[in-house]
Amino acid sequence: MTNYVEHLQPELIVNYCKLVIVSVDSPMLSKDIKDGLGATFPFLSDEDKKVITELEIVDTTDKYHPVAIPYTFVLDRDRTIYKIYNGWWYVGRPTVEELRMDLRALMSRRQDWWYDKTPPPYAQKSDELTFHMER
Amino acid sequence: MRDDLKPGNTFPDIELPNHDKETVTLSSLVRGFPTVLVFSRGYF
């Protein structure tokens, strides 16, 4: 998480992208962790495991302390799932660079991504990319 | 993981208390911007 605070957080502020953390920690502990890290993004508390149970992402390896399987979801503006990272193995968790690429891909769908005029070959009509075209 | 959680589908608008004990919805946090949603093992 420290790499996100150090490297991703400053970019999110200027990039209009959001980062949200969910854990089974209490709100009080979440606040301590957030403040300790110097994080400005929100930490949500699923203390009773209701949400992670509904989503079927509970890690029951330790039956006394069920926690979330560390999935990361990259969501578009309307919460459409763009990408899913399974962080069961640490190497499965997305790096700052991978998240930057994902967020770039999503932000570039905005009509105002090209400040002046969309250059070819990007200025092509598609269902997904509706750029303003001037020829 | 639940079957409907796959690329192209809408992530459910989950509702949870935040670090200040205020109940918030995911949609109120996303507010029309790309969002990285991390499920953390936490520290307990």
pLDDT of residue A100: 94
Mean pLDDT (chain A) is: 87
Residue A131 has pLDDT above 60, yes or no: no
In chain A, the domains with their CATH numbers are 2-107 (3.40.30.10)
Token pair recorded at residue A83:
């990408």
Question: Per-residue pLDDT averaged across A5-20, rounded?
Answer: 89
pLDDT band at A124 (very low <50, low <70, confident <90, very high): low
CB–CB of A57 and B39 under 8 A? yes
Which of B10, B39, B41, B44 is the best residue to mutate to test the A interface, defined by the most A CB atoms within 10 Å of its own CB? B39
Which of B16, B36, B40 has the CB atom closest to A99's CB atom? B36
Report the predicted TM-score, pTM, of the whole model to 2 decimal places: 0.87
Q: Quote the DSSP letter at residue A94.
A: P
Token pair recorded at residue B21:
């004990």
Write down the ipTM of this complex. 0.95
3-state secondary structure at position A31: helix
Identify the H or E element spanning A36.
helix A27-37
Which of A27, A31, A52 has the CB atom closest to B39's CB atom? A52
pLDDT band at A132 (very low <50, low <70, confident <90, very high): very low
Distance CA A66, CA A102 (A): 30
User: pLDDT for A13-24, tens place per residue?
Assistant: 888 899 999 999
User: pLDDT for A62-121, tens place per residue?
Assistant: 888 899 999 999 999 999 999 999 999 999 999 999 999 999 999 988 878 887 777 777
User: pLDDT for B1-44, tens place per residue?
Assistant: 999 999 999 999 999 999 999 999 999 999 989 999 999 998 75
pLDDT of residue A82: 97
